[in-house]
């Protein structure tokens, strides 16, 4: 399959690349497009044959359901309708459009291939103007997982998506690097209290503040299950070491320095500059937001640069740091 790559330029409503992409979606083809979190690989969510192609292109296990992307907040009410608890409305008012995904009862609108036969479905209204223009122009909801091959780091730019998906999708809509860098926060809205199933750009603290009631602590009441968490994830073809703070930290840095002195290709990704580690092997990101924005592309850059040992210093376990740490731990092969 030939993959067209075209850059989207404003005004997106009339942009030829967006128009072409919308047409392909309507024809049942796959299109890679930017969102405010990461790039997605999209298909018409109402067309089961089109959605099946996503699983083939990504080599994704068929029991891992997809997020449905909608053009406007009102569309959430159209698909989730009467089953929404009051706290879900508060979340929608506060965070949609934006990097929030809610789990709601499937009204029956979406085929089994989208929901993996669960009684629920994930809905999200992206705030990225290209995603928004594409969904509006296509006139259908777009099912889209992250635009990487299964097990690989998510793509935060068109080049990274191209690396994994060229020849497997009809089109890649190019745009600047995605501003968020990690995926949306998934909140289960089917229970009495909201439950965060996947940490993401919006922090638990922000979710809790918006709803004004305690979050359900999964694990206590029911399993922490989004089907995707069962699988290997986010992993580059590099030995990733997740570095915890405390005593282990200095041990890890000694190990990094030792490997480097032995001539190994070593890199350290860190929030704050490390005085004990040679400057030439450090990537210093300075803010948790910058860390989130860059982490997936740095995983892929390390791979391309032939890095053998990538040490990544975990962030404080709060705010966006929680979501970033989850990606680092998974990349390092931890559960
Ligand atoms: O930021 C994002 O959310 C990106 C962009 C493209 O929107 N999408 C994304 O999709 O991260 P994906 O497929 O890589 O991750 C979706 C996660 C998977 O772990 C999947 O198991 C879970 O959502 N999921 C989907 N439907 C679900 C449901 N009904 N209940 C619980 N988890 C669900
Ligand atoms: Mg993914």
pLDDT in tens, 120-130: 999 999 999 99
pLDDT tens by residue, 6-20: 999 999 999 999 999
pLDDT surpassing 60 at residue 220: no
pLDDT of residue 25: 99
195 bridge partner residues: 188
- Contact call for residues 243 and 312 (beta carbons, < 8 A): yes
Q: What is the DSSP letter of 218?
A: T
- Pair 32, 147: CB distance under 8 Å: yes
Q: Name which residue sits closest to atom 10 of ligand 1, judged by CA.
A: 145
Report which secondary-structure segment, H or E, holds 324. Answer: helix 320-331
pLDDT of residue 219: 65
CB-CB contact of 163 with 299 (8 Å): no
Q: In the structure, what pLDDT confidence band is assigned to residue 223 with cuts at 50, 70 and 90?
A: low
Nearest ligand to the C-alpha atom of residue 197: 1
For the chain, give the number of residues.
335
The string of pLDDT tens digits covering residues 265-274 is 999 999 999 9
Residue 8's closest CA among 27, 28, 34? 34
For residues 334 and 314, the answer to whether their CB atoms sit within 8 Å is no
What is the rounded average pLDDT of the residues 74-97?
Answer: 93
The DSSP line for 84-103 is --HHHHHHHHHHSSSSEEEE
Model confidence at 102: pLDDT above 60: yes
| CB-defined site of ligand 1, < 6 Å | 35, 37-38, 40, 64-67, 101, 103, 115, 118, 120-122, 124, 144-146, 183-184, 186, 197, 226-228
For 38-62, write each residue's pLDDT tens digit.
Answer: 999 999 999 999 999 999 999 999 9
**Hey, whose CA ends up nearest to atom 19 of ligand 1?**
228
Give the pLDDT of residue 335.
66
Any idea which ligand is nearest the CA of 37?
1
Q: Give the CA count within 13 Å in the CB-facing half-sphere of 230.
A: 10
Confidence of residue 312 (pLDDT cuts 50, 70, 90): very high
Ligand 1: atom nearest CA of 148 is: 14
**Residue pLDDT, tens place only, 160-205:** 999 999 999 999 999 999 999 999 999 999 999 999 999 999 999 9
Best substitution site from 67, 124, 127, 135 to test ligand 1's pocket, by max atoms within 8 Å of Cβ? 67
β-bridge mates for residue 241, sequence order: 311
Pocket test for ligand 1, best of 98, 147, 183 (most atoms within 8 A of CB): 183
CA 107 to chain CA centroid, Å, is 25
**How remote is the CA of residue 311 from the centroid of ligand 1, in Å?**
27
Atom 17 of ligand 1: nearest residue by CA position: 228
218 CA to middle of ligand 1, Å?
17
Phi-psi region of 242 (alpha: psi -120 to 50; beta: other; left: phi over 0): beta
Task: Decide if pLDDT at 142 tops 60.
Answer: yes
Structure-token pair, residue 271: 């929030």
pLDDT at 157: 98
Strand blocks (E) in 168-274: 171-174, 185-188, 195-198, 239-243, 266-270
Average model confidence (pLDDT) across the chain: 95
Give the C-alpha separation, 259 to 253, whole Å: 10
Q: What angle do CA 140, 143, 147 make, to 5 degrees?
A: 130
- The percent of residues above 90 in pLDDT, for the chain, comes to 90
CA of 285 to the centre of ligand 1 (A): 27
Q: Determine which residue's CA is closest to atom 6 belonging to ligand 1.
A: 40
pLDDT, position 221: 58
Question: Which atom belonging to ligand 1 lies closest to the Cα atom of 37?
Answer: 1
pLDDT tens digits, one per residue of 225-264:
677 766 778 888 899 999 998 778 999 999 999 999 999 9
Residue in 51, 63, 145, 327 to alter for ligand 1 test, most ligand atoms within 8 A of Cβ: 145
Query: Which tokens sit at 100?
Result: 């929030």
Beta-bridged to residue 172, according to DSSP, are: 5, 32
pLDDT band at 222 (very low <50, low <70, confident <90, very high): low
* Residue 217: per-residue pLDDT: 82
Residue 107 is predicted with a pLDDT of 87
């Amino acid at each position: 399959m030939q993959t067209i790559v075209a850059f989207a330029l404003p005004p997106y409503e009339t942009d030829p690349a967006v128009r072409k992409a919308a047409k392909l979606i309507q024809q049942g083809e796959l299109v890679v497009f930017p969102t405010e979190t990461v790039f997605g690989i999209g298909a018409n969510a109402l067309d089961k044959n089109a959605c099946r192609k996503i699983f083939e292109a990504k080599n994704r296990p068929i029991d891992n359901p997809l997020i449905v992307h909608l053009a406007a907040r009102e569309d959430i009410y159209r698909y989730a309708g009467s089953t929404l608890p009051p706290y879900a409305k508060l979340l929608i008012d506060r965070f949609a459009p934006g990097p929030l995904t809610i789990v709601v009862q499937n009204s029956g609108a979406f085929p089994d291939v989208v929901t993996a036969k669960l009684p629920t479905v994930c809905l999200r209204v992206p705030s990225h103007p290209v995603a928004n223009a594409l969904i509006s122009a296509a006139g259908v909801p777009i099912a889209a997982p992250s635009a990487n091959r299964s097990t690989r780091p998510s793509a935060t730019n068109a080049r990274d998506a191209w690396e994994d998906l060229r020849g497997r999708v009809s089109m890649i809509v190019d745009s600047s690097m995605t501003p968020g860098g990690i995926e949306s926060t998934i909140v289960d809205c089917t229970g009495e209290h909201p439950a965060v199933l996947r940490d993401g750009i919006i922090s638990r603290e922000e979710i809790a503040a918006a709803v004004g009631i305690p979050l359900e602590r999964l694990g206590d009441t029911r399993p922490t299950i989004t089907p995707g968490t069962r699988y290997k994830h986010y992993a580059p073809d590099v030995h990733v070491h997740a570095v915890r703070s405390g005593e282990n930290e200095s041990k890890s840095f000694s190990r990094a320095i030792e490997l480097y002195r032995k001539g190994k290709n070593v890199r350290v990704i860190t929030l704050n500059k490390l005085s004990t580690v040679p400057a030439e092997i450090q990537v210093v990101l300075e803010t948790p937001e910058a860390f989130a924005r860059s982490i997936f592309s740095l995983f892929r850059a390390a791979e391309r640069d032939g890095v053998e040992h990538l040490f990544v210093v975990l962030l404080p376990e709060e705010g966006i740091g929680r979501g970033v740490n989850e990606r680092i731990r998974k990349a390092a092969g931890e559960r």
